Each structure stands twice: as structure tokens, then as C-alpha cells.
Amino acid sequence: MTTRRRLLGLGAAVAAGSVLAPTPAAAAYTTRIDPARDYGRWQGWGASLSWWANVFGRNSTLADLFYTTRWVDYYDHVLPGLGLNVVRYNLGASMRQPAWPGGPRMVTSPNIPAFRQMQGYWVNWRSADPANTRSWNWSNDAEQRSMLRMARDRGADLFQMFSVSPIWWMCKNHNPSGAADGSDNLQSWNYDQHARYLAIVAKYARDRWGITFDSVEPFNEPSRDGHHASFRAEGCRISATAALPAQQRVIHHLRRELDTRGLSDVVIAASDEMTYTGANRTWDRMTILDTRPLIGQVNTHGYQLTDDGTARSALYRNVHASGKRLWQTEYGEQYEHGLYLAYRLALDMWRLHPTAWCYWQPVDGQVKDEESGTKLSWGLLKATYSWDRTTKGGTLGEANPYPGTDRYVTNKYFVLAQYTRHIRPGMRIIDSGSKSTVAAYDALRRRLVLVTVRGNTPQKVTFDLSRFRTVGSVVRRRVTDAAPDYRIGRQYAVAPNPPLRGKQLTVDFSANSIQTIVIDNVRP
């Protein structure tokens, strides 16, 4: 299938295998791969459903692209499937129908489009019985549930349910985008109702949808200041301070509600703060009300872009010392070349040591870059969404893509494929000796995978494999160019295998590129 694949010509596209204008090479260096330093079993790669699945949730081609490793026809391209196995399901907070005929209605932000309003199920507070059709509407959110099922059918095996906001009638102002002043918006008498809602849906999903949620997360960026009544998305501030331990109280309620419904095996994840520093601060506060023992997993988002690694390291040490697993559950940015994605993913693996890593919206539209004023795409694949406030809609692709980029696919799709298609669930993440390289070992297949990102100068890198007892041979190598000027030639392209000399492997890296090297018959 690889011979059928069309390279996406980006800008003044260069032929596959060629390089950009010559630049001085950085000094060569050697990095030692150490299998004895093991950061745990890799659980997998994923993405949130949410907005894109709210519009395109019945599209089986997208399901093939994201949840298989097959080569998939996509418009005039043939793309490598990403092989994601982690699915984050957004439990909706919005509903257009009134609580009851003539009853209260949801208050809607004047700036939120319909495609960003995720439908909920619990119509009103009159009955917590999910069989009561006057209080529950299980036909809502059909598109997101469709993609959830297609992901499962294609092999996805880790499912997490998360809440961006409590359902609208639990909010103080009935607005699931936030309070007018950005303050806490979950009514205190609904702490237990919010927990009950999560548990009821988790139970219903297991019994009726055939989906078992491994974990449930009651919050999403709950300490963020940006959740307000005119926000362009759903959101809710929920504090975790000693003076207002709202998060902690919800978590206590949630553990009880899950256990009551026979879901004691479902882990509570918290709190998905926006930054590593915020996640660390919130985790420290989970000692309040002795809440830490109830949390099985710490989630964090990856939007602290200026972090040099210290905040990541601090969070890892704090969570690891508590014996909890750690996930990076949301990352995204608008630069289509993918170089920044590779930098930050590598830094996450080097300092944060998560056991799963997730992108935010794999299908997204153009946004205006605040610095340059140009419009770029947050997605791995591109879409044009309707910003109508009452009717959700969208089409795949962009009519006027950024100069030098493709209409349908961003280059960072291929950058992410360099990692997701080769570092697979069940492998062990081991020490690579370098913040530029992610190293993973598959004990069953005796396979070593090395993925390295190179910056704005060429460089020769030697991988020292002397700490392995035996080293076989390189079985494949792939490369993706990721130049910030979008002069990109190779996209997940096969490259000649470099020779192994004993237990030394020396590889030439061109500027702004990502390489994946797979070596078989490796024994620690």
C-alpha cells in the first residue's frame, strides 16, 4: 500500500528525500538507551471525541483513520491509520428541551456554536431513575456515541468518560459555559447530583451500549479562569481549595455512587487541569478531606507551553510517589507542520512519564494566530465548522488553506503517526538518554523502537545500545519532515536503513525532521 500513497505537496514541495537549504550541522552526540530504567507499561494513544464527533461521528472513514493501523483512502490521499486505542467520551451538559413543558430552559452563551454544545441525557432533577422517560432522554448525543462504538469495534480498548461541565440545570445560572464572573458555577446542593449523573451514565453505557469505561473524570480544567457565561465552549469552574473543597466533595460522592451501582472497578480520574503547575497544585490539595485514596489516576492537560520540563518533573514525582498512574489527556496547537507537537510530546515522555498521551481534537478548523494574524489549523485533519448557534454542521477540508499546506490533512498527522504506529500498547517506555528521543521496548517481540525529533540544524546521532545483551538488525526506518516554513517533502516516508556496527547505531538527521527506527531481535 505504501507505493500507492501520494505525498502531500506542501508549498514549494520538494521531492521525497531531499533536504532544505544547507545549514551548519549541530555537533554530533551519543545517547545511551537504558532498558533498566523503565517508566512503566505503555497504555496507549488517544484523543477526545467531543466537537468533531458531534458533527462527524457517523463517518466510518475517520474511524478507520484514527482507530486502525490500516492504510486508508482519504479524498485523493492514502493515509496511514494512527492506531489510537484510548477514547475520551465527553458527557454532555447541554440540552435544548426544557426541564419539563413550560419549565426552565438552559441559558446559552451568546458565543458558543451548536457544534460545541454536547447533548446531555438527564432532562430534569425530578427523577434519578434512568428508565423514567420524562427525566431522561437516551436518544441524545447520537453522533458521539456512534463514533464511540466504531472506535470499540476497530480495537480501541481504553474508554474514559469526562465532564466539561455539569448538566445545565445543576449550574447556578443554568449556563454550562460558566458563571458571569467566572466563579464556581456548580450549585453546592448538586455536588451529589453531578456525581450521580456520571455514575448512572457509566452504568447505562456498560449495560446498554456495550462500553465499559475504565475511568470517569468529573472535571475538565476546573481551576481555569476562562469559564464564563459568554465563553465559546462549555466549561465550569469548580474549586479545590481548603475554603471551598468542591472538587473533593464531588469525588467522595462519585466514589459512593459508582460503588453503589456495582462499578467499583471504575477508576476516578482527576482533575485535568490546564497546566502541569495547576495539576500539581490541585493534586497537593487532594489531601483535603482525605481525597487522594479515592483517585486512581491523575490527568493533566499539556498547555503549559513555556515549561522547560521542571513542572512536568515535579508533577511526575508527586503523582508517582502517591502510586497513581498519570495521563496527558489533552494537547493541541495550531501549527500544522508538527515540529512543536514532536518537541512537546518528547518532553512529556522525558519529564512527565505519562502512560497514555492524547490529542485534543483530531479534526478541527482554522483559527487565527494571534502573533502573525494568519489562519492555521488545530486539527490533524482539517474541517470547516458552521458557527451557527442553533444548528450544528461542518464539512471536511478547508476551502482556503494556509499557503503551502494541504486542504484536508495537516503535516502533524504524519508526525504523530511516527509515534503512534510504532510505540504500541503493552510496550515499556525506557530511558532514552535524551529529551529528543522516545524509546520503547516490546518484550514479546523483542523489538526496540526509537523516535527522535531534530531541530533547525542537521545532526549526526549515535544510539549506544551497549546495555542490551543482544541487538539484531534495523527492520525499518521512517521519516517525516516538519519545517516551520512548510517546505516539506517526506511524510511518513520509508528511509534507507542505517547499518548497525556492533551495538552502535549512527543516524544522520536532516533539519526539522522526525525519524522512527525499529530494531528487532533485541534482548535486555
**Per-residue model confidence (pLDDT) at position 2:** 32
Domains in the chain with CATH codes: 2-40+428-520 (2.60.40.1180), 43-93+141-420 (3.20.20.80)
Q: What is the mean pLDDT of residues 156-165?
A: 98
Which three-class secondary structure state does DSSP give residue 335?
coil
Evaluated on CA atoms 429, 152, 91, 368, the torsion sign reads positive
**Per-residue model confidence (pLDDT) at position 475:** 85
Q: Is 330 a catalytic residue?
A: yes
Paired sense of beta strands 297-301 and 267-273, if any: parallel
**Per-residue model confidence (pLDDT) at position 309:** 82
What share of the chain in percent tops pLDDT 70?
95
Q: What is the mean pLDDT of residues 316-327?
A: 97
**Per-residue model confidence (pLDDT) at position 12:** 27
Evaluated on CA atoms 268, 273, 276, 279, the torsion sign reads negative
pLDDT digits (tens, 9 = 90+) for 481-512: 999 998 888 999 999 999 899 999 999 999 99
**Per-residue model confidence (pLDDT) at position 23:** 55
pLDDT digits (tens, 9 = 90+) for 235-271: 999 999 999 999 999 999 999 999 999 999 999 999 9
Distance of alpha carbon 178 from the chain centroid: 23
Q: Is the pLDDT of residue 471 over 80?
A: yes
Among 33, 142, 157, 154, which Cα is nearest to 448's? 33
pLDDT band at 335 (very low <50, low <70, confident <90, very high): very high
Average pLDDT over the chain reads 93
C-alpha cell at 274: 490546564
pLDDT digits (tens, 9 = 90+) for 192-235: 999 999 999 999 999 999 999 999 999 999 999 889 999 999 99
Paired sense of beta strands 513-520 and 473-481, if any: antiparallel
Q: Phi, psi (5° rounding) for residue 484?
A: -60, -20
Q: Is 371 a catalytic residue?
A: no
pLDDT digits (tens, 9 = 90+) for 110-139: 999 999 999 999 999 999 999 999 999 999
Kindly report each contact of residues 491-499 with a partner whose C-beta sits within 8 Å and lies 24 or more positions away, as own/partner.
491/7, 491/8, 491/411, 491/414, 492/80, 492/414, 492/417, 492/418, 493/7, 493/16, 493/17, 494/2, 495/17, 497/473, 498/474
Catalytic residue among 143, 217, 221, 257: 221
pLDDT digits (tens, 9 = 90+) for 338-369: 999 999 999 999 999 999 999 999 999 988 76
C-alpha–C-alpha distance, residues 464 and 210, integer Å: 47
pLDDT digits (tens, 9 = 90+) for 399-453: 999 888 999 999 999 999 999 999 999 999 999 999 999 999 999 999 999 999 9
Q: Is the pLDDT of residue 9 over 90?
A: no
Catalytic residue among 234, 257, 273, 330: 330
**Per-residue model confidence (pLDDT) at position 368:** 74
Q: Is the pLDDT of residue 19 over 50?
A: no
Residue 237's beta-bridge partner residues?
184
Q: What is the mean pLDDT of residues 98-106?
A: 96
The HSE-up count of residue 445 (CA atoms within 13 Å, CB side) is 17
Q: Is the pLDDT of residue 14 over 70?
A: no
